[in-house]
Amino acid sequence: MSFIRTALLVAAVSSLSFAALAPARADDANTMTIKLKDGDVKVELLPDLAPKHVEQIKALAKEGAYDNVVFHRVIPGFMAQTGDVQYGNTEKGYKPQAAGTGGSTRPDLPAEFSKEPFVRGVVGMARAQNPNSANSQFFIMFTEYPSLNGQYTVVGKVTSGMDIVDKIKKGSEADNGAVENPDKMIKVTVGSAK
Protein backbone atom coordinates (compact mmCIF):
# COMPACT_ATOMS: atom_id res chain seq x y z
CA MET A 1 0.00 0.00 0.00
CA SER A 2 2.80 2.46 0.84
CA PHE A 3 4.48 1.68 -2.51
CA ILE A 4 1.27 2.65 -4.36
CA ARG A 5 0.94 5.85 -2.33
CA THR A 6 4.58 6.70 -3.04
CA ALA A 7 4.10 6.02 -6.75
CA LEU A 8 0.98 8.22 -6.83
CA LEU A 9 2.78 10.98 -4.95
CA VAL A 10 5.75 10.84 -7.36
CA ALA A 11 3.34 10.96 -10.34
CA ALA A 12 1.48 13.92 -8.84
CA VAL A 13 4.70 15.81 -8.11
CA SER A 14 6.01 15.07 -11.61
CA SER A 15 2.84 16.37 -13.23
CA LEU A 16 2.92 19.48 -11.01
CA SER A 17 6.56 20.07 -11.94
CA PHE A 18 5.69 19.76 -15.64
CA ALA A 19 2.72 22.10 -15.22
CA ALA A 20 4.91 24.61 -13.42
CA LEU A 21 7.40 24.54 -16.31
CA ALA A 22 4.75 25.08 -19.00
CA PRO A 23 3.91 28.69 -18.04
CA ALA A 24 7.61 29.53 -17.86
CA ARG A 25 8.01 28.38 -21.47
CA ALA A 26 4.94 30.33 -22.55
CA ASP A 27 6.21 33.44 -20.72
CA ASP A 28 9.61 33.05 -22.36
CA ALA A 29 8.06 34.24 -25.64
CA ASN A 30 7.15 37.48 -23.85
CA THR A 31 10.45 38.06 -22.05
CA MET A 32 12.61 40.79 -23.51
CA THR A 33 16.26 41.00 -22.49
CA ILE A 34 18.04 44.33 -22.85
CA LYS A 35 21.82 44.02 -22.61
CA LEU A 36 23.34 47.20 -21.17
CA LYS A 37 26.97 47.99 -20.32
CA ASP A 38 26.38 47.09 -16.66
CA GLY A 39 24.34 43.89 -17.24
CA ASP A 40 21.02 42.52 -18.44
CA VAL A 41 17.55 43.92 -17.83
CA LYS A 42 14.63 41.48 -18.13
CA VAL A 43 11.24 42.84 -19.14
CA GLU A 44 8.01 40.89 -19.02
CA LEU A 45 6.01 42.05 -22.05
CA LEU A 46 2.23 42.22 -21.49
CA PRO A 47 0.37 41.27 -24.70
CA ASP A 48 -2.92 40.98 -22.81
CA LEU A 49 -2.69 44.74 -22.07
CA ALA A 50 -1.27 45.94 -25.40
CA PRO A 51 -1.20 43.21 -28.06
CA LYS A 52 -0.36 45.44 -31.05
CA HIS A 53 2.39 47.33 -29.24
CA VAL A 54 3.97 44.15 -27.87
CA GLU A 55 3.84 42.53 -31.31
CA GLN A 56 5.67 45.53 -32.81
CA ILE A 57 8.32 45.59 -30.06
CA LYS A 58 8.94 41.87 -30.48
CA ALA A 59 9.23 42.20 -34.26
CA LEU A 60 11.69 45.09 -33.98
CA ALA A 61 13.76 43.20 -31.40
CA LYS A 62 13.85 40.08 -33.58
CA GLU A 63 15.04 42.20 -36.54
CA GLY A 64 17.86 43.59 -34.39
CA ALA A 65 16.44 47.11 -34.84
CA TYR A 66 16.93 47.97 -31.15
CA ASP A 67 20.58 46.87 -31.02
CA ASN A 68 22.95 49.83 -30.43
CA VAL A 69 20.09 52.31 -29.90
CA VAL A 70 20.76 54.99 -27.28
CA PHE A 71 18.82 56.19 -24.26
CA HIS A 72 18.42 59.68 -25.72
CA ARG A 73 16.23 61.12 -22.94
CA VAL A 74 16.87 60.19 -19.31
CA ILE A 75 15.31 62.32 -16.58
CA PRO A 76 16.41 61.60 -12.99
CA GLY A 77 13.46 60.65 -10.78
CA PHE A 78 11.25 60.05 -13.82
CA MET A 79 12.23 57.72 -16.68
CA ALA A 80 14.78 56.54 -19.28
CA GLN A 81 13.63 56.69 -22.92
CA THR A 82 15.06 54.75 -25.87
CA GLY A 83 13.98 52.96 -29.02
CA ASP A 84 14.43 55.57 -31.75
CA VAL A 85 15.63 53.07 -34.36
CA GLN A 86 15.66 55.74 -37.06
CA TYR A 87 18.01 58.30 -35.47
CA GLY A 88 19.29 56.67 -32.28
CA ASN A 89 21.42 53.80 -33.60
CA THR A 90 25.13 54.35 -32.93
CA GLU A 91 26.09 51.85 -35.65
CA LYS A 92 23.80 53.28 -38.34
CA GLY A 93 24.31 57.03 -38.31
CA TYR A 94 23.31 58.21 -34.84
CA LYS A 95 22.00 61.78 -35.02
CA PRO A 96 22.06 63.31 -31.52
CA GLN A 97 20.00 66.36 -32.49
CA ALA A 98 17.27 64.23 -34.10
CA ALA A 99 17.26 61.32 -31.61
CA GLY A 100 13.82 61.07 -30.11
CA THR A 101 12.02 62.36 -33.19
CA GLY A 102 12.13 59.15 -35.22
CA GLY A 103 10.52 55.75 -35.22
CA SER A 104 10.76 52.71 -37.47
CA THR A 105 9.57 51.80 -40.96
CA ARG A 106 6.55 50.13 -39.36
CA PRO A 107 3.26 52.03 -39.01
CA ASP A 108 2.33 54.01 -35.91
CA LEU A 109 0.00 52.21 -33.51
CA PRO A 110 -3.45 53.00 -32.15
CA ALA A 111 -3.39 53.64 -28.39
CA GLU A 112 -3.95 50.62 -26.13
CA PHE A 113 -4.42 52.44 -22.84
CA SER A 114 -5.15 50.37 -19.73
CA LYS A 115 -5.66 50.82 -16.00
CA GLU A 116 -2.12 49.55 -15.31
CA PRO A 117 -0.40 52.32 -13.29
CA PHE A 118 2.95 53.84 -14.15
CA VAL A 119 5.15 52.79 -11.24
CA ARG A 120 8.85 51.95 -10.87
CA GLY A 121 9.90 49.39 -13.48
CA VAL A 122 6.90 49.82 -15.78
CA VAL A 123 7.71 50.06 -19.49
CA GLY A 124 5.53 52.40 -21.54
CA MET A 125 5.41 53.47 -25.17
CA ALA A 126 6.56 56.97 -26.03
CA ARG A 127 4.41 58.94 -28.44
CA ALA A 128 3.87 62.41 -29.86
CA GLN A 129 0.87 64.54 -28.90
CA ASN A 130 -1.41 62.30 -30.98
CA PRO A 131 -2.38 59.32 -28.75
CA ASN A 132 -2.16 57.04 -31.81
CA SER A 133 1.45 57.89 -32.69
CA ALA A 134 3.50 55.32 -30.73
CA ASN A 135 5.90 53.44 -32.97
CA SER A 136 9.20 52.08 -31.66
CA GLN A 137 10.25 54.26 -28.73
CA PHE A 138 9.64 53.18 -25.15
CA PHE A 139 10.59 54.28 -21.66
CA ILE A 140 11.32 52.61 -18.32
CA MET A 141 10.03 54.30 -15.17
CA PHE A 142 12.44 55.10 -12.34
CA THR A 143 9.52 55.88 -10.02
CA GLU A 144 5.75 56.15 -9.78
CA TYR A 145 4.23 58.84 -12.03
CA PRO A 146 0.41 58.90 -11.77
CA SER A 147 -0.09 61.67 -14.36
CA LEU A 148 0.87 59.15 -17.08
CA ASN A 149 -1.84 56.67 -16.05
CA GLY A 150 -4.34 56.09 -18.84
CA GLN A 151 -2.43 58.50 -21.11
CA TYR A 152 0.31 56.19 -22.41
CA THR A 153 0.32 52.50 -23.35
CA VAL A 154 1.88 50.12 -20.82
CA VAL A 155 3.71 47.31 -22.62
CA GLY A 156 5.67 45.59 -19.87
CA LYS A 157 7.46 45.65 -16.55
CA VAL A 158 11.04 45.04 -15.47
CA THR A 159 11.32 41.74 -13.63
CA SER A 160 15.07 41.90 -12.97
CA GLY A 161 17.82 44.44 -13.47
CA MET A 162 16.24 47.65 -12.16
CA ASP A 163 19.56 48.29 -10.40
CA ILE A 164 21.10 48.26 -13.92
CA VAL A 165 18.41 50.66 -15.22
CA ASP A 166 19.23 53.00 -12.32
CA LYS A 167 22.83 53.21 -13.65
CA ILE A 168 21.82 54.48 -17.12
CA LYS A 169 23.55 57.81 -17.76
CA LYS A 170 21.19 60.67 -16.88
CA GLY A 171 20.51 63.80 -18.85
CA SER A 172 19.88 67.31 -17.69
CA GLU A 173 16.42 68.21 -16.38
CA ALA A 174 16.97 71.71 -17.76
CA ASP A 175 17.44 70.20 -21.22
CA ASN A 176 14.38 67.88 -21.00
CA GLY A 177 16.61 64.91 -20.19
CA ALA A 178 18.81 65.09 -23.30
CA VAL A 179 21.91 62.97 -22.70
CA GLU A 180 25.40 63.80 -23.91
CA ASN A 181 27.32 60.64 -24.92
CA PRO A 182 24.36 58.43 -23.92
CA ASP A 183 24.34 54.80 -22.89
CA LYS A 184 22.87 52.38 -25.39
CA MET A 185 21.06 49.07 -25.60
CA ILE A 186 23.87 46.81 -26.76
CA LYS A 187 21.53 43.99 -27.76
CA VAL A 188 17.81 43.35 -27.35
CA THR A 189 16.35 39.86 -27.62
CA VAL A 190 12.95 38.30 -27.04
CA GLY A 191 12.43 34.78 -25.75
CA SER A 192 15.33 32.39 -25.83
CA ALA A 193 16.99 34.10 -28.82
CA LYS A 194 20.68 34.74 -28.22
DSSP one-letter string for 80-136: EEE--TTT-BTTS---TTTTTS---SSPPB-----S----TTEEEE---SSTT-B-S
Residue 179, domain CATH:
2.40.100.10
Q: Average the pLDDT over 113-119 and give the result.
A: 98
Any residues with CB less than 8 A from the CB of 70 and at least 6 apart, and which? 82, 84, 88, 89, 90, 94, 99, 179, 182, 183, 184, 185
* CB 156 within 8 Å of CB 45: yes
Half-sphere exposure of 119 (CA within 13 A, CB side): 5
* pLDDT surpassing 60 at residue 145: yes
Is there a domain that residue 57 lies in? Answer: yes
Is there a domain that residue 104 lies in? Answer: yes
Is there a domain that residue 12 lies in? Answer: no
> Which percentage of the chain shows pLDDT scores above 70?
86
Model confidence pLDDT, tens digit, residues 146-170: 999 999 999 999 999 999 999 999 9
User: pLDDT band for position 193 (50/70/90)?
Assistant: low
Q: Which domain holds residue 119?
A: 29-190
How many separate domains does the chain show?
Answer: 1
The reported pLDDT for the residue numbered 7 is: 40
The reported pLDDT for the residue numbered 192 is: 79
Is there a domain that residue 2 lies in? Answer: no
Is there a domain that residue 171 lies in? Answer: yes
Task: Report the distance separating Cα 37 and Cα 48, nearest Å.
Answer: 31
* pLDDT surpassing 50 at residue 127: yes
Half-sphere exposure of 71 (CA within 13 A, CB side): 28
Model confidence pLDDT, tens digit, residues 19-44: 333 344 447 999 999 999 999 999 99
* pLDDT surpassing 80 at residue 18: no
Query: Nearest-CA neighbor of 87 among 73, 75, 74?
Result: 73
Mean pLDDT score of the chain: 88
Angle at 59 between CA 167 and CA 90, to 5 degrees: 45
* CB 66 within 8 Å of CB 185: yes
Is there a domain that residue 16 lies in? Answer: no
Map residue 41 onto helix, strand or coil: strand
